[in-house]
C-alpha cells in the first residue's frame, strides 16, 4: 500500500508555541478506548458499552511530531488490500505511576497528566470487522507501524478536569470530526481509574480517549488539520 502520511508542524498556525511541552519520557504503551462516544458507536452499528472497551497499541505504532520532521512518515502495511480509516482523539501523556487508583486518587495525583495533544488512531476497519466476526484480536487492524499519529504535546493546565475540551479534525478544510469531551460516556478521570486497575500506568504511557463520530477513509492527497483550541497541526496523506 502506498498510502503514507507526512506530518508537518505548522508554526504559522500555532500562536501558543511557548506552551508546548517537550518529551521528558520515551513513549510507553498507548492505552486506547473504544466506543467512548455514543454517536460513534451508533455510526458503526455497535452497542454502547457498560464499561470502557480498552485495547493497547505498542510504542512501535507511534509517530510523534516531537520527532524531527524527516521521521513524520507513517509506515503503512505494505501488503494489505484494506483501506486506512482515521479516528481523531484527544490524547494525554502520563507523568506519574498509577496503579489501582480510585477516581478521587486520580484527581489528587499531582502531575499525573503531563501533556495533552490530539492524535489519529488509524484503523484497517474492514480487517477489524473480519477479525471481530471471527472472535480474533484486533491487533492486525489497529497496531501496525504508524497507526498512532500524535501531534505535539502541550501543557495540560488550561484544560481543568477535561470535562469541557473541544477539538476538531478537518479534512481538506471540511469539518469532519467534532469532539466535545462532555459527550464522553466515560470521562477522563473515570477512564484513568478504570484503566489503572487493569494496566499499571507509567510515565510516558499515552491514553487515546476515544473518537467522536465522523470516522472514515483516508485518501492520498488529503490535507488534515487537527485543532485543539489555539493549537493547530497539519498533516498530509501522501
Footprint of Zn ion (CB under 5 A): 87, 121, 211
Q: With respect to Zn ion, which residue has the nearer C-beta, 128 or 211?
A: 211
Residue whose Cβ sits closest to Zn ion = 121
Q: With respect to Zn ion, which residue has the nearer C-beta, 14 or 121?
A: 121
Q: What is the DSSP letter of 123?
A: B
Q: With respect to Zn ion, which residue has the nearer C-beta, 7 or 211?
A: 211
Instruction: Tell me if 37 sits within 8 A of 210, measured CB to CB.
Output: yes
Q: With respect to Zn ion, which residue has the nearer C-beta, 87 or 152?
A: 87
Rounded to an integer, what distance in angstroms lies between the CA atom of residue 46 and that of residue 21? 37
CB of 111 to Zn ion, least distance (A): 26
3-state secondary structure of 94: strand
Q: What are 98's strand-pairing partners?
A: 201
Instruction: Tell me if 124 sits within 8 A of 147, measured CB to CB.
Output: no
Q: With respect to Zn ion, which residue has the nearer C-beta, 76 or 91?
A: 91
Longest dimension (CA), the chain: 48
Q: With respect to Zn ion, which residue has the nearer C-beta, 114 or 121?
A: 121
**Grid cell locating 38:** 455514543
CB of 33 to Zn ion, least distance (A): 7
CB of 123 to Zn ion, least distance (A): 7
CB of 55 to Zn ion, least distance (A): 9
Rounded to an integer, what distance in angstroms lies between the CA atom of residue 23 and that of residue 50? 34
CB of 102 to Zn ion, least distance (A): 26
Rounded to an integer, what distance in angstroms lies between the CA atom of residue 48 and that of residue 11? 39
Rounded to an integer, what distance in angstroms lies between the CA atom of residue 169 and that of residue 232? 10
Rounded to an integer, what distance in angstroms lies between the CA atom of residue 183 and that of residue 84? 25
> What's the chain's Rg over C-alpha atoms?
17
CB of 24 to Zn ion, least distance (A): 25
Amino acid at each position: 500500500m502506498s498510502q503514507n502520511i507526512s506530518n508537518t508542524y505548522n508554526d504559522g498556525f500555532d500562536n501558543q508555541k511557548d506552551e508546548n511541552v517537550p518529551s521528558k519520557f520515551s513513549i510507553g504503551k498507548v492505552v486506547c478506548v473504544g466506543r467512548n462516544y455514543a454517536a460513534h458507536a451508533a455510526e458503526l452499528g455497535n452497542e454502547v458499552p457498560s464499561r470502557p472497551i480498552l485495547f493497547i497499541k505498542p510504542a512501535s505504532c507511534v509517530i510523534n511530531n516531537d520527532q524531527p520532521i524527516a521521521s513524520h512518515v507513517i509506515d503503512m502495511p505494505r501488503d494489505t488490500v484494506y483501506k486506512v480509516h482515521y479516528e481523531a482523539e484527544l490524547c494525554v501523556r502520563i507523568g506519574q505511576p498509577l496503579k489501582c487508583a480510585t477516581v478521587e486518587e486520580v484527581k489528587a495525583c499531582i502531575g499525573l497528566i503531563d501533556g495533552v495533544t490530539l492524535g489519529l488512531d488509524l484503523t484497517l476497519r474492514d480487517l477489524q470487522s473480519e477479525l471481530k466476526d471471527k472472535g480474533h484480536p484486533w491487533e492486525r487492524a489497529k497496531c501496525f507501524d504508524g497507526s498512532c499519529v500524535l501531534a505535539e504535546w502541550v501543557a495540560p493546565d488550561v484544560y481543568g478536569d477535561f470535562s469541557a475540551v473541544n477539538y476538531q479534525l478537518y479534512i481538506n478544510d471540511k469539518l469532519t470530526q467534532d469532539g466535545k469531551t462532555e459527550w464522553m460516556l466515560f470521562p477522563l478521570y473515570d477512564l484513568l481509574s478504570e484503566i489503572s486497575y487493569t494496566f499499571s500506568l507509567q510515565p510516558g504511557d499515552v491514553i487515546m480517549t476515544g473518537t467522536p463520530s465522523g470516522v472514515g477513509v483516508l485518501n492520498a492527497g488529503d490535507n488534515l488539520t487537527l485543532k485543539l483550541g489555539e493549537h493547530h497541526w497539519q498533516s498530509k496523506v501522501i
